[in-house]
Amino acid sequence: MAERRNRQFVLAARPTGTVKESDFKLIEGAVPRPAKGEVLLRTIYLSVDPYMRGRMGDQPSYAAPVAIGGVMVGGTVCEVVESQDESVPRGTYVEAYTGWQEFAVVKARGLRALDPNVAPISTAVGVLGMPGLTAYFGLIEIGRPRPGDTVFVSGAAGAVGATVGQLARIAGCRAAGSAGGPAKIDYLKSLGFDGALDYRAEKDLEAALDRVCPKGIDVYFDNVGGPITDAVMTRINIGARVVICGQIAGYNERGKETGPRDLWQLILKRARIEGMLVSDHYEHKDAALARLAGWIGDGRLKFREDIVEGLENAPRAFLRLFSGANLGKQLVRVGPDPTRR
């Protein structure tokens, strides 16, 4: 029988400016064998996320960079194909952090086992995983929405943003957001957003905000930064909460962004601005996941996935996050999902 090989994407070069496919390299190695207490995992889904842009550079951050020649990091949904730990038997589906590769050996302890009867296993890296938790903790803990508030979210059609808007509605708020292109605006309307603006098409963002948020903005959940954030800051209400979750508009920039940053508005509106990192809140992860699963179960929280086939297309899938080609949580199907027909 032919020896099974493990295809892996390693970081070939630290990007300057926009990431290129040539910044990654596909290599092949032997499939590792698990020792006692370990399991061999086969990757089914790989999550590609904007934060990976940061790991490709070597600037100081909250996490260490990927080494040149190192396997690209990333959240995965896997099947246990060999087990040396009876608590996680062969055939178990798990959430792991095994990166851009087909196989990996990890410690069995600490893996989150997934039940395909509760939700599609792919959601463990989406709405019932890191992006869903980011929306939950960012909005509920930092944004502190009150019934009747207007919540505005940038990057609203993405994995985090689409969840933020729906959670805002569940909290009794008016939800509005910005996204790029008419298909994304239609998607936001289908999710029940009360207002949506296409930031690429609008000539005057402040006027567009007046249209979709006629009573101003009480909570701004920022996934993007850049011009939409400048415009939103002029429309926040007294006592507003501004949650800085992501700044994707600047992730491919080489230098520091310059331009108007209207912090005067924080004085004028006695507002609070706070950055958030989802992992700071993981102590309360189980309770949050249970609430998110409950809302999915009763139909109040919907999710959408955008799946690219094949590990060889992972760089292309990753680049979609920056061109805005993804509609929903961007995943790569690395191997067959036996739970999905």
Q: Which residues bind ligand NAP (CB under 6 A)?
A: 49-51, 131, 134, 155, 157-161, 179-181, 184, 223-224, 226, 245-246, 248-249, 276-278, 321-322, 324, 326, 330
**Which CB sits closer to ligand NAP, 163 or 265?**
163
**Which CB sits closer to ligand NAP, 29 or 226?**
226
To ligand NAP, the closest distance from the beta carbon of 327 in angstroms equals 8
To ligand NAP, the closest distance from the beta carbon of 133 in angstroms equals 8
**Which CB sits closer to ligand NAP, 266 or 325?**
325
To ligand NAP, the closest distance from the beta carbon of 51 in angstroms equals 5
**Which CB sits closer to ligand NAP, 49 or 102?**
49
**Which CB sits closer to ligand NAP, 34 or 132?**
132
CB 209 within 8 A of CB 139: no
**Which CB sits closer to ligand NAP, 185 or 236?**
185
**Which CB sits closer to ligand NAP, 293 or 325?**
325
Q: In the 3-class helix/strand/coil scheme, how is 70-126 assigned residue by residue?
A: CECCCCEEEEEEEECCCCCCCCCEEEECCCCECEEEEECCCCEEECCCCCCHHHHHC
**Which CB sits closer to ligand NAP, 103 or 251?**
251
To ligand NAP, the closest distance from the beta carbon of 251 in angstroms equals 7
Q: Closest residue to ligand NAP, Cβ-based?
A: 158
To ligand NAP, the closest distance from the beta carbon of 23 in angstroms equals 17
